[in-house]
Amino acid sequence: RGISIRSAACRFRTKCAADTPYDGEFRTIAKFPRTRVWDPYKRLGISPYASEEEVWSARNFLLSQYGTHETSAESIEAAFEKLLMTSFRTRKKTKINLRTRLKKKVEESPPWVQNLLSFVEAPSPVIVMRRLFLFGFMACWSVMNSAEAGPAFQVALSLGACIYFVNDKNKSLGRASAIGFGGLVAGWICGSLLVPAIPSFLLLQLNWSVELVTSLVVYVFLFLSCTFLK
C-alpha cells in the first residue's frame, strides 16, 4: 500500500509538471493575468485618458513580459488594436467636425469673403510638397548663385513653372498667364516694400542684394498662386 501511494504521488507530480508551460530551458512561462478583462484600458493597465505614446509603451512592456505565451500575446495585441481603432475613429470624427464648422463659418461670412474664397482651393499634400520643393530649390539656387549672377533666370523658370501648373489644372493658358504674372508682380512689389524693413547690416553680412531678397519673396507668391488659386 505504501509503495502504491508513493507511485500515485510520483505520477501526479509528473502530470502537473507536464501541464506547466515552459520554454526550451525548462523555465516557467509567465501568463498574462488580465486576458479576460473586457475593457482594453484596464487590460493594458492604463488610464482611459492615456496618450497614444502611453498605449504603445504599455503594449511593448506587456509583450516583453508575457510575449512568449501565445494566448497572452494575442490578448495584449487585441486590446492594443482596439485602442488604436478607437483613436483613429476619434481623430476622423474630429476632422469631420472641423470641416463642418469651417464650412458653416464660410457660409455665414459676408459675400465678398465668399467670393474671395471661391478662388482658393486646398490641393493634396503631395502636390503641395512637390511644388514647395521646386520653389525652395529655386530659392536655394538663387542664393548660392548670387555672387556670380542675378536671379533673373531662376525667376523666369519659376514663372514658367507657375503658368504650367495653373494651365495644367484649369486648361486655360490665358488664365494661367494672368495668375502667373499677377503673382510675379505682387511678389515683386511686396519684396520691394520688405527690403527697407530689413536691417542693412544683415544684408551686408549675408551678402544679399536687394534683387535677391525681392526674388525670394517672388518665389513665395508664385508658389502660393500656382498651388492654392483656382
pLDDT at 27: 56
Q: What is the per-residue pLDDT for 116?
A: 64
Instruction: Give the bridge partners for 22, in sequence order.
Output: 28
- Domain extents in the chain: 2-86, 125-228
Other CB atoms within 10 A of residue 40 CB: 21
Of the pLDDT bands very low, low, confident and very high (cuts 50, 70, 90), residue 99 is: low
Residue 74 has pLDDT above 80, yes or no: yes
Q: What's the pTM?
A: 0.53
Quickly list DSSP for 121-164: ----HHHHHHHHHHHHHHHHHHHHTTTTS-SHHHHHHHHHHHHH
pLDDT at res. 185:
94
1-53 pLDDT, tens digit each: 444 444 444 444 444 444 445 454 445 778 888 888 888 888 888 888 888 88
Nearest to 184 by CA among 142, 156, 150, 145: 156
What is the per-residue pLDDT for 148? Answer: 75
* Mean pLDDT for the stretch of residues 71-95: 83
